Amino acid sequence: MGEDFRSFLKDMEETKEGGFIRINKEVDTQYEVSAIVTKLEQARQVPLLWFEKVKGHTLPVVVNCYADRGRVARALRVSKRALNQRVDQAYQYPIPPVEVSRAPVQEVVIQGTEVDLQKLPAMMYHNTDGGFYITAGIVLAKDPDTGDCNLSYNRLMVKGKNRLGIFMTVGKHLNAIYGKMEERGEPLEVAVSIGNHPASAIGALAIGPYHENEIGIIGGLKGSPLEIVRCKTVDLLVPAGAEIILEGEIAPYVREEEGPFGEFTGYAIRSAKNPVMRVKAITHRHNPIYQDICGGQHREHLTMATIPMEANYFRVIKGAVPEVEAVRMAAPFTLIISMRKKYEGQARSALLAAFSADLYLKHAIVVDHDIDIADLQRVFWALATRVQASRDLFIIPRARGSSLDPSAEPLGVMDKMGIDATAKPSLERFSPLNTVPQEVMDRIKLEDYIKNFPLPSQGTRD
Ligand SMILES: Cc1cc2nc3c(=O)[nH]c(=O)nc-3n(C[C@H](O)[C@H](O)[C@H](O)COP(=O)(O)O)c2cc1C
Ligand SMILES: [Mn+2]
């Protein structure tokens, strides 16, 4: 077996990249895991957590696998700095999967009336959550016209022994595939892969045109083909090295209450009528490890989602404006772009390209290359000193966005805003910056002027 979830966990336990902690004290799936993740984040820690004892369950739970960029980078065998480039390469050079006939994930096969989702340690994270959720499942589904397989993460609400409520954003690919099957009046077969190597997670979240091949991007990230195996009860091929696979189908035209659910925006999404997956089989490895991604506004969701998003924005914007230098998701639905502007109007071209790259984008800001976009104070300084709103801001009214934005209309209709915060007409012809001559800066040594230098450190804010 090539690189899979277990070899990743072993590697992390050995290297402790970003932190790795085994917890023996029993935890409850209701609120306790999310309390521990939340408290650690308050202390600015995102270690991989392995809960050995989970109340009422036999499976151990791991969380925070993709919460740290260094951890994801190590799993992909690149440095943290080279991570974006690696993802970009995988988008450019996907490697097709290979089918295998025997797979660890099918060591145990449970079918029919034996299926019991309640044996999985699904979680309840917040006081507002309407039920127990499976969050670390990659949903695989086939386009009925092309036969291509699409991958995405979708929250799944446990609704009894063999039923799951599923949320599919309107405008994203899984929803489009389900729509095609509804038009035919037929159920959509799906499989859910739980316990995945970071290459699978980042590849599954690849964003791009409808035909973008997520499974090939996983291979590109790994540097070798992903091994896939045929499901037992549905016509789909799934990662052979996953921990657990749920096989089933989503009936057309059936809608039931799903939610509320505390989302990554930090808000609880109200319950709504959403489709339902009926689970026909569960296959798993011997002694499966259950993976969870803590629901709500936590590092793991933000880290794993922004890595492929930023790589996609970068490649799409670069196609339109080669002068783009860097991009960064600064907040939900918010992108900052830096560029080396050569010609007037280019910042707007970059913004237009960004809005075409992903429907989730709501606010985008372009700054000059002298601004470090990781430093939001500098970005705000550019907004304060290089922008005139009537000239530099545009609004695209009532476009499609994410329905998870609580200020949007229910199905995600929203205004989009682009801000050109570059100096006009150019940085060179803009007001000069006030700087002390470099020669003097080099010559002056503070210890020659101030006794007891360096001074004891002081707070940076007044
Ligand atoms: C942890 C996690 C959970 C997610 N849950 C959902 C979800 O419930 N529904 C949804 O539409 N997208 C969800 N997403 C986002 C999609 O997985 C993502 O936009 C994906 O690229 C969509 O792929 P597609 O366009 O191929 O369908 C989630 C992302 C992450 C990282
Ligand atoms: Mn897709």
Q: Is 150 helix (H, G, I), strand (E, B) or coil?
A: strand
Full DSSP string of 277-323:
EEEEEEEE-SSPPEEE---SS-HHHHHHHHHHHHHHHHHHHHHH-TT
**Preceding omega of 252 cis (within 30 degrees of 0):** no
- Give the confidence band of 453 by pLDDT, cuts at 50, 70, 90: confident
pLDDT digits (tens, 9 = 90+) for 417-430: 999 999 999 999 99
**Ligand 1, atom 2: closest residue by C-alpha:** 153
Overall average pLDDT of the 389-398 stretch:
98
**Ligand 1, atom 26: closest residue by C-alpha:** 173
Listed by start position, the domains of the chain span 5-300, 323-462
Q: Is 293 in the pocket of ligand 1 (CB under 6 A)?
A: yes
Overall average pLDDT of the 36-56 stretch:
98
The ligand 1 atom nearest the CA atom of 205: 21
Mutate to test the pocket of ligand 1, among 153, 175, 302, 361 (most ligand atoms within 8 A of CB): 153
Ligand lying nearest the CA atom of residue 172: 1
Which of 3.40.1670.10, 1.20.200.10, 3.40.718.10, 3.40.462.10 is the CATH number of 323-462? 3.40.1670.10
pLDDT digits (tens, 9 = 90+) for 297-307: 999 999 999 99
- Give the confidence band of 1 by pLDDT, cuts at 50, 70, 90: very low
Ligand lying nearest the CA atom of residue 213: 2
pLDDT digits (tens, 9 = 90+) for 233-278: 999 999 999 999 999 999 999 999 999 999 999 999 999 999 999 9
Ligand lying nearest the CA atom of residue 217: 2
- Alpha-carbon distance of 229 to 245, in angstroms, equals 11
Q: Is 135 in the pocket of ligand 1 (CB under 6 A)?
A: yes
Q: Is 274 in the pocket of ligand 1 (CB under 6 A)?
A: no
Overall average pLDDT of the 22-28 stretch:
98
- Please report how the helices 83-92 and 299-320 are oriented relative to each other, as an axis angle in degrees rounded to 10: 60
Q: Is 190 in the pocket of ligand 1 (CB under 6 A)?
A: no
Q: Is 155 in the pocket of ligand 1 (CB under 6 A)?
A: yes
Q: Is 361 in the pocket of ligand 1 (CB under 6 A)?
A: no
State phi, psi for 237 to the nearest 5 degrees: -110, 130
pTM of the model: 0.95
Helix ranges (H only) for 321-437 are: 346-357, 376-386, 389-392
Q: What is the CB neighbour count within 10 angstroms for residue 345? A: 9
Ligand lying nearest the CA atom of residue 216: 2
Ligand 1 centre to CA of 154 (Å) is 5
42, burial (CB in 10 Å: exposed 0-12, middle 13-18, buried 19+)? exposed
Largest CA distance in the chain: 82
The ligand 1 atom nearest the CA atom of 293: 1
- Alpha-carbon distance of 249 to 276, in angstroms, equals 8
Ligand 1 centre to CA of 174 (Å) is 9
pLDDT digits (tens, 9 = 90+) for 131-145: 999 999 999 999 999
89, burial (CB in 10 Å: exposed 0-12, middle 13-18, buried 19+)? middle
Q: Is 88 helix (H, G, I), strand (E, B) or coil?
A: helix
Positive/negative CA dihedral, 285, 289, 294, 299: negative
**Preceding omega of 454 cis (within 30 degrees of 0):** yes
**Ligand 1, atom 5: closest residue by C-alpha:** 154
291 and 65 Cβ atoms separated by less than 8 Å: yes
Q: Is 70 helix (H, G, I), strand (E, B) or coil?
A: helix
pLDDT at 439 (0 to 100): 97
Percentage of the chain exceeding pLDDT 70? 98
CA angle 354, 359, 362 (to 5 degrees): 70
- The hierarchical CATH code for the domain 5-300 is 2.30.110.10
pLDDT digits (tens, 9 = 90+) for 47-94: 999 999 999 999 999 999 999 999 999 999 999 999 999 999 999 999
At residue 2, does pLDDT exceed 80?
Answer: no
* Residue type (1 letter), 38: T
Mean pLDDT of the chain: 96
Ligand 1 centre to CA of 427 (Å) is 39
pLDDT at 410 (0 to 100): 83
Percentage of the chain exceeding pLDDT 90? 95
Ligand lying nearest the CA atom of residue 360: 1
pLDDT at 454 (0 to 100): 86
**Ligand 1, atom 30: closest residue by C-alpha:** 153
Q: Is 205 in the pocket of ligand 1 (CB under 6 A)?
A: yes
Question: CATH topology of 5-300 equal to that of 323-462?
Answer: no
188 and 250 Cβ atoms separated by less than 8 Å: yes
Mutate to test the pocket of ligand 1, among 151, 152, 205 (most ligand atoms within 8 A of CB): 152
pLDDT at 396 (0 to 100): 98
At residue 460, does pLDDT exceed 60?
Answer: no
State phi, psi for 87 to the nearest 5 degrees: -65, -40
Q: How far is CA 118 from the centre of its chain?
A: 26
Q: Which of 65, 53, 77 is nearest to 13 (CA)?
A: 65
pLDDT at 459 (0 to 100): 60
- Alpha-carbon distance of 369 to 438, in angstroms, equals 20
pLDDT at 155 (0 to 100): 98
Ligand 1 centre to CA of 192 (Å) is 13
pLDDT digits (tens, 9 = 90+) for 157-187: 999 999 999 999 999 999 999 999 999 999 9
At residue 367, does pLDDT exceed 50?
Answer: yes
